[in-house]
């Protein structure tokens, strides 16, 4: 698979190129938005990974102009900016997915693979624990027939816990997979987001799905209580 990465943070770009190459992708990198747009317009790529804050032409403009030119290549936007309005603007300009920095290498590869499956018409697996269901392709979560709104970070955390299959995972493992291995903040951020999840997927339904494993970390109960 042939990818175009448009990213002006050279250290990050080098890491992403190395990561994707190790996962079997051929990657072309551009640091200038205007040049990235011209390369993306060629239509030769299977996925475009696009930063928003770029010299020459920002990611929003690149995405909008590519779609106006009839380029249907799946686009994954990367940004250091935060907030739902940034995500909405990215999607409104034609992006297929959105990932905030710092991000997990595992999540980046998974999102790219999901875009490729979506393009080919092949769906990835839906994860289920009792009546708790998440669809990574659609970024949707529900318990029974009730839709649950999760932020991208909350969704990534729940997806990682569900993929663990009931095994306990440590705070550091969660940080590495959900926030990224370069995260250098307080590990207690995990506790904060575990609390957010419990308030959304457990308490309104009188359940105890997210369990604390003393001295280790967290897991999802095999049977929702």
29 - beta bridge partners?
5
How confident is residue 87, by pLDDT bands cut at 50, 70 and 90? low
pLDDT: which is higher, 155 or 90: 155
pLDDT (mean) for 17-33 = 91
Percent of the chain's residues with pLDDT above 70: 88
- Whether pLDDT at 170 is above 90: yes
Closest CA to 55 of 101, 7, 13: 7
68 - beta bridge partners?
none
Q: Give ranges for CATH 1.10.10.10 in the chain.
A: 127-220
98 - beta bridge partners?
77
Least confident range from 23-32, 40-49, 85-94, 199-208: namely: 85-94
CATH architecture of 127-220: Orthogonal Bundle (1.10)
Cis peptide bond upstream of 167, omega within 30: no
CATH for 2-120 is 3.40.50.2300
- Whether pLDDT at 85 is above 50: no
Global pTM value: 0.58
Residue pLDDT, tens place only, 100-109: 887 888 889 8
Kindly write down the DSSP assignment for every residue of 32-48, as one continuous string.
Answer: SHHHHHHHHTT---SEE
What the block records as the tokens of 11 is 């250290």
pLDDT (mean) for 116-126 = 69
pLDDT of residue 168: 92
Q: Give ranges for CATH 3.40.50.2300 in the chain.
A: 2-120
Which residues does 164 contact at the CB level (< 8 Å), separation at least 6? Answer: 219, 220
pLDDT: which is higher, 224 or 201: 201
């Amino acid at each position: 698979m042939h990818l175009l990465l448009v990213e002006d943070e050279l250290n990050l770009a080098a890491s992403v190129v190395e990561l994707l190459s190790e996962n079997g992708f051929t990657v072309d990198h551009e640091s200038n938005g205007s040049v990235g747009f011209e390369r993306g317009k060629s239509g030769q790529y299977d996925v475009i990974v696009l930063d928003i804050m770029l010299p020459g032409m920002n990611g929003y403009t690149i995405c909008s102009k590519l779609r106006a030119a009839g380029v249907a290549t799946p686009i994954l936007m990367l940004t250091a900016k935060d907030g739902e309005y940034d995500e909405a603007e990215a999607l409104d300009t034609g992006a297929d997915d959105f990932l905030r920095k710092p991000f997990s290498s595992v999540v980046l590869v998974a999102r790219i693979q999901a875009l490729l499956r979506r393009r080919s018409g092949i769906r990835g697996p839906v994860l289920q624990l009792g009546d708790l269901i998440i669809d990574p392709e659609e970024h949707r979560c529900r318990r029974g027939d009730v839709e649950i709104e999760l932020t991208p970070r909350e969704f990534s955390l729940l997806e990682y816990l569900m993929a663990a299959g009931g095994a306990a995972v440590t705070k550091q493992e969660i940080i590495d997979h959900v926030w990224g291995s370069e995260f250098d903040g307080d590990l207690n951020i995990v506790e904060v987001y575990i609390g957010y999840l419990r308030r959304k997927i457990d308490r309104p339904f009188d359940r105890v799905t997210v369990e604390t494993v003393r001295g280790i970390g967290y897991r999802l109960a095999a049977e929702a209580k």
